[in-house]
Amino acid sequence: MTERQIQITENFKKVRERIREASAKRGGGEVTLLAATKTVPAEDILFAAENLGLTAAGENKQQEFTSKYDVLSGVLDYQFIGHLQTNKAKYIVGKASLIQSVDSLHLAERIDALAEAAGVVQDVLLEVNIGREEAKSGFLPEAVAEAEARISEMRNVRTRGIMVMAPVCSEKDEYRKYFRETYSIFIDIFQKKSHNIEEYTLSMGMSDSYVEAIEEGATLVRIGSALFGSRNYR
């Protein structure tokens, strides 16, 4: 293995161990490790999929999703996790197994129309602006239930759960209040829908907060730099 591959291997071992510990602390339950692969070369993602058991990856940008799609889509569960503009949705709908970032009814309607034209049903998560931050998109906490009810009436969009990006916190335990509030919303909406056939997703927690997120109920964590190292945005 190359030095880069050795480092990625060690990172995966550390992250998986921390996921196991956090899951055990909350009483068990499966947690999906999704690699957030913004700026990560396709060959690094393939290495993780083929050698380290990585099963899911997600992109933040439409252009990067599109450029890696042919290489990665047949190898792992390839998702879209970033802000999606309505005029870019045509490049994602029907290709991403899950769009985690539906942040408005307008976007959901656009996805529904595109999915109908393609003859598919598109799985999505509703993005919640749990910190009520003006600079972030997403449904406000009090609007999520109504949005889910309206989107559930669309024929070609299927809501699979909730995604949240918590505000940046100076102390790790500060994340917990946001994760607890999100978990409460998730349970209120989706627990009554759950059964043995369908499992719903609560996507929260990233490299700086995934342990706290799992302990507070996350079923999927989106981890980038803790797996692949610091981003290179050049």
Q: List the domain boundaries for the chain.
A: 3-227
Q: What is the pLDDT of residues 72-107, one digit of tens each?
A: 999 999 999 999 999 999 999 999 999 999 999 999
Q: What is the pLDDT of residues 127-185, one digit of tens each?
A: 999 999 988 899 999 999 999 999 999 999 999 999 999 998 888 889 999 999 999 99
Lowest mean pLDDT across 46-50, 100-104, 213-217, 230-234: 230-234
Long-range contacts of 87-91 (CB under 8 A, 24+ apart): 88/62, 89/114, 90/114, 91/62, 91/65, 91/66
Encoded tokens for 21: 């510990």
Q: Angle at Cα 37 formed by Cα 35 and Cα 41, nearest 5°? A: 125
* Residue 194 binned pLDDT confidence (cut-offs 50, 70, 90): low
Could you tell me whether strands 99-102 and 201-203 are parallel, antiparallel, or unpaired per DSSP bridges?
unpaired
pTM of the full structure: 0.94
Over 80: is that where the pLDDT of 232 sits? no
Among 44, 94, 52, smallest CA distance to 71 is for 44
Give the mean pLDDT of the chain.
94
Return all residues near 12 (Cβ < 8 A) that are at least 6 apart.
48, 52, 54, 227
Can you tell me the mean pLDDT for 116-136? 95
In CATH, the architecture of 3-227 is Alpha-Beta Barrel (3.20)
CB atoms within 10 A of CB 225: 15
